[in-house]
Each structure stands twice: as C-alpha cells, then as structure tokens.
A and B are shown apart, each in its own frame.
Chain A
C-alpha cells in the first residue's frame, strides 16, 4: 500500500504528482509542503491577494460529499493562485461509483480541467480518479471516506510548526472519534513521519479502531491521563450521527468523560495549544471558554488551510508537464 502510494504520488525525482494521502510521502516531502505554504502566508495580507502562478489553469472542486470550510478554502486557494475554479457539488445519491464517476470525469476532462480536488464518502475515490484521469490532470484528495484527509493534516502540521517550531520532542494528543476520522488517520501518519516524540489517542473504546496501536500511537481511555503534559491537543469533531449507532450513551456523558474544559486543559503543558478541525460542537467536544480561549488556535488553522492548499495545488500543477511527458515516454 505504502509503496504504491509513493509511486502514484511522487515521480522519480521526488516531486509531487498527486496529493492523495500522507502515506508514502516521507518527511522530506511533508517538509517541502510546509515550507512552500510558509511562502504563501504573506499573500493574504497584501493589497492584491493573488499570485499569477496558476493563471490559465482550471481547478475543479469535485465534491460528492458536502463541505463548506474545505471547499471554500480550496476555492480561495485556487483563486489566489489565479486559477479558474469550477465548483461541482454532486450529491452522492445522484451517482453510483464506477461508470458514473468515470463519465463525470470524462466530461470534465473534455472541458480541459487541469486539476480535480475530490471529496467523496467512499475510501479510495481520489486514488481511483488519479489512476483513471487524463495524465495531465493532477488530483488532490479533499477527504475520502474514513481513509484520508491529507490537506487537513498538513494544515494542522503547519499550525503546530508555527507555534512549536520543531516536531521532535513534542507530545500530541488526538481526542475523540478516532474510529470514523479520516482526519485522525492522516494526522497520525504526518505526526509520526515528521518525528514527534509521542502521539496519543484518547477515546472511548467504541470510537477506537481495533488495531489502534498498530498506527503507532499510545492509547488512552482516560482523558485526564491522556492529555497530561502534552504540547498539542487536537480535538476531533463528534459526528452526531454516531450517537444513533449506540456507540455513545449521550452527548452529555461524552462531554463529562472526554470534553475539554479549562480544568482539564490545566493538566497539559502550560504552553499547550488546542486545535480542532471544525466545525465545533460547543459543549460536546469542548467548552466555549476553551474554544475561544488564549490557547485555542482553531481560527488560525482555517487561515493556514489556505496557504497549505495553495502550496499543494501549485506543487501539483507545477508537475503537469512531468505527467504529460510520462505518457510520451
């Protein structure tokens, strides 16, 4: 899996052809993405919030699953690179996988789209598209099933690096619904690849995958223990639909066991930061005081998300010629 992910995403010189998963990219590429994003951070503060890098390119946001924040930040990122953006919200019910997805693809390719940003409820959708799209087309995974959400993980890494400067030596706790979270999966891969000292997951047994430890994490079922002395706390969104599946007794009880409060936050390192991929369920995952408090960097995550997406879009568009040459050889 890891090997094929590397082959699909990187060329022989290690350049980014597609961005589908953190798996197989390695520390060097992750660092290059973070460094490139650093270069883009200033663009948002200028008179003209655009660079001409991707002028004349067409980026299609192919969203089979609804999302506001991710789609908007991808759209803004592409526009700040001067690309033209198509937003296609294709509800999952209107399509079934396979032929229909390919048909959609072929139609968009006929419009000379240069990049697909794909979100889909099924694991592997972005991989599928990367493998079947015209070779000139770059593909970015904006979330597939329970599998991966690599740009979210990278903006989280960017936020951590901005506050902590180095990954080595850090203790990071990811709290909440690990089982259903593609964000957590991508975060764990990225954190371990970047060399943090300890990744903890803190969750009730019903919201942890059976093989949690094989992901390279320390597992905690007790919140107080799990966040003690950590440098970074990443809270995951509790998807309300999980309540119905009898995985959790009630929101109230979840909050009392795993909610982040000021009292609990005091157990972490005094310089700890609090992150959340959004949208927050206030009073379920965390108290409003914590969400709006001085240690919360949740809104910075959103801003940094634009820089990270600019980095990934431009790096992938930049290898368009390589993908085309590949066909010629």
Chain B
C-alpha cells in the first residue's frame, strides 16, 4: 500500500454496504424468478465480498472464484501476474444464473476479462454484476446491476478494498504506477 493512502471507510461501514448489496441482490433475484444462482467472486477483493454475500443470502450452490490473470488485456504490456491462483467454478455454468461479484468497478476491463473467462466454462443463462464500488472512469460499455457505493473521485485517485479481516476502503493518489502493480479495475 502506498504511503499516500488514507482510510475512507472502516469495517463497520463496509459491512453495512454489503448488507445493502445483499438486499438488492435478493430483490433482483426475486424479480427475475431466480432461485439457485451460482455466486462467483473475482479475486481478490471480490472473493472476500462474495464469501460474505453468499453467507448472508444463504445460497445453496457452493461459491465460485475467478482469477482473471489469464484474460487480462494488458498481458503483452506488463507480463504475467506473479500471484495467480486457479479459478474454480465448482458446478457447470451451462444454463445457470450467475451473480458476479467484484470490489471496485472502474474501467470495466476486469469485468470484460471475467465474462470471457466464464464463457470458456460454458454458456450461462444470465449474469448479474454486483460491485461494492462503482466509480467513474469506464472505458468499456459495462454496467453493474447492484452497487454498494458511488463515490466521487478525481481521475488520479484510486479506491481499494483492503482485507479480508478487517475489511476497509482506502483512497490513494496515483503517483508512479509501477509496471508490475498496474491496476486493472
């Protein structure tokens, strides 16, 4: 973490945002008549959130995790992420309704990568996108269905979920983006 970051939200505030998200997801699933969705968290922050949401919603199907390292569009520029984990979708995604969870929606590139990866597992019926934070700066036509928070940020500011225990949101300013830590939010 850079030294120029400052706390933006503590655990309690983040947890209440997660409660709000869970309620919105519940409503949306009911509206669409979806009973057994597969929840999938995007590594790393999205998995922390998905674990809590999964528990809170009492979903029956096991939680899935995605590591989008192999689907990044900046691989040829910055190379392989040295901390990659296997993705794990525990049940077939064919004809399944999916709730995709991530921490911060920014450029939309992570979600683009995640959607491509999911479709390499099969053809889901639908995908709902739930993010804790939806911030300005979209570079692709991707929009969330469920959002916890819409913060007002300067373009050079970045917001990051830290965790998993305790969870918190911090805000920092981009100074020198080292090639190995370039964020793809």
Contact = CB atoms under 8 A, between A and B. Distances in A.
B79 A315 contact: yes
A39 B43 CA distance: 12
A314 B80 contact: yes
Contacts of A15: 79
B139 interface: no
A50 B71 CA distance: 10
Nearest to A13: B180
Contacts of B180: 13
Given A39-B67, A39-B85, A48 B120 contact: yes
Given A46-B121, A52-B116, A319-B79, A35 B84 contact: yes
B136 interface: no
B120 A318 contact: no
A59 to B, nearest CB: 14
Contact of A322 (B67, B79, B117, B121): B79
A15 B70 CA distance: 17
A318 B79 CA distance: 4
B33 interface: no
B79 A42 contact: no
Contact of B85 (A38, A46, A52): A38
Contacts of B71: 51-53
A47 interface: yes
Interface in A21-53: 32, 35-36, 38-43, 46-48, 50-53
A141 interface: no
Interface string B84-124: 11111000001000000000000000000000110111100
A95 interface: no
| Best-surrounded residue of B67, B120, B121 (most CB of chain A within 10 A) | B120
Contacts of A50: 120
A47 B79 contact: no
A38 B69 CA distance: 13
Given A13-B180, A53-B70, A320-B76, A42 B87 contact: yes
Given A319-B79, A321-B76, A321-B79, A42 B120 contact: no
Given A51-B70, A318-B75, A42 B88 contact: yes
Nearest to A82: B70
Interface string A287-323: 0000000000000000000000000001101111110
Contact of A36 (B78, B84, B119): B84
Interface of B: 67, 69-71, 75-80, 82-88, 94, 116-117, 119-122, 180
Q: Which 9 A-B pairs have the closest CB atoms?
A: A318-B79, A39-B84, A51-B70, A48-B120, A318-B80, A42-B86, A315-B80, A53-B70, A47-B122
12 contacts: A38-B85, A39-B69, A39-B84, A42-B87, A47-B121, A51-B117, A51-B120, A52-B70, A314-B70, A314-B75, A315-B79, A318-B78
